[in-house]
Amino acid sequence: MTVNDRYRRLRTELRSLLGKRAQGSGDPESIDYEAVEMARLIFYTLKGWNTTDLVIHAADEVSDFTEERIAGVLRRMKEGEPIQYVLGESRFYGMTLGVSPGVLIPRQETEELVEMVVDDNIGRRDLRVLDVGTGSGAIAIALARNLEFPIVSALDVSREALAVARENAARLHVAVNFMEADIFDWQPADGSLDIIVSNPPYVMMRERKDMEAHVLDREPAEALFVSDDDPLRFYRRIARTGVAALAEGGLIYFEINPICADMMVRMMTDMGYDKVMTEKDMCGKTRFLRAERGCLDRIGYGS
pTM above threshold 0.85 = yes
Cα torsion at 29, 31, 35, 36 (round to 10°)?
20
- What is the spatial distance between Cα 58 and Cα 82, in angstroms, rounded to a whole number? 27
Higher pLDDT, 176 or 27: 176
pLDDT score at 271: 95
Q: How many CA atoms lie within 13 A of 170 on its CB side?
A: 7
> Which one-letter amino acid corresponds to residue 290?
R
Higher per-residue pLDDT: 292 or 302:
292
Q: What is the pLDDT of residues 68-96, one digit of tens each?
A: 999 999 999 999 899 999 999 999 999 99
- Average pLDDT of the chain to the nearest whole number: 92
| Residue 297 in this model has a pLDDT that exceeds 60 | no
Taking only the tens place, the pLDDT of each residue in 244-289 is: 999 999 999 999 999 999 999 999 999 999 999 999 999 999 999 9
Q: In this predicted model, which residue has the larger pLDDT, 226 or 232?
A: 232
- Domains located in the chain, CATH noted: 3-80 (no CATH), 89-298 (3.40.50.150)
Three-class HEC string of the chain: CEHHHHHHHHHHHHHHHHHHHHCCCCCHHHHHHHHHHHHHHHHHHHHCCCHHHHHHCCCCECCHHHHHHHHHHHHHHHCCCCHHHHHCEEEECCEEEECCCCCCCCCHHHHHHHHHHHHHCCCCECCEEEEECCCCCHHHHHHHHHCECCEEEEEECCHHHHHHHHHHHHHCCCCCEEEECCCCCCCCCCCCEEEEEECCCCEEHHHHHHCCHHHHCCCCHHHCEECCCCCCHHHHHHHHHHHHHEEEEEEEEEECCHHHHHHHHHHHHHCCCEEEEEEECCCCCEEEEEEECCCHHHCCCCC
